[in-house]
Structure 1
């Protein structure tokens, strides 16, 4: 099995693992999460702008350093990113933060 199909078998962050479609959809665009508490999951970035992708994501999780807080992922600036269906880039773990005070 090639690497691309292996990546598409992963779970998607935020999807219900007991739902009817727990895995990625081949027509959507994903970032592979590397390192940290969400290592191995995919993040659906289909409708994200280039600026949003370049910024990365703060994802809520119970599995990080601060349960209920956020874990931070961002792409490496020199790594290529193609706007196409499938797994098109990687977001790398850069740290964890407590839950924002306004939540």
Structure 2
């Protein structure tokens, strides 16, 4: 099974990772297992993590899920779920 990228249309022609792009894996929470494209992100943005829209979180449609770099400071290519926000 191919990995799916956050924000990509699952029925689209390119739901998976693309060559030349940088990704982190989302671990835990409602977006577990998806890849987040961080191509072009400033290093500080990677350290800060991301608030991502998620219809499947605690707050339903319009809610967001907070993901932060793994304890390794983002070097490991994983963002860990920290919780949901409205």
TM norm structure 2: 0.91
- Say which SS state the counterpart of residue 37 (structure 1) adopts: helix
RMSD: 1.6
Q: Indicate if the aligned counterparts of 1:54 and 1:77 stay in contact, CA closer than 8 A.
A: no
Q: Which runs of 5+ in 1 are unaligned?
A: 1-5, 82-87, 99-103
Q: Which runs of 5+ in 2 are unaligned?
A: none
Q: Indicate if the aligned counterparts of 1:36 and 1:93 stay in contact, CA closer than 8 A.
A: yes
Tell me whether 1:50 sits opposite 2:43 in the alignment.
Answer: yes
Aligned length: 85
- Between structure 1 and structure 2, the one with the greater Rg is 1
In 2, Cα distance between the equivalents of 1:80 and 1:19?
29
Q: Indicate if the aligned counterparts of 1:73 and 1:93 stay in contact, CA closer than 8 A.
A: yes
In 2, Cα distance between the equivalents of 1:59 and 1:80?
17
- Give the superposition deviation at 1:77: 3.9
TM norm structure 1: 0.76
- Give the superposition deviation at 1:26: 2.2
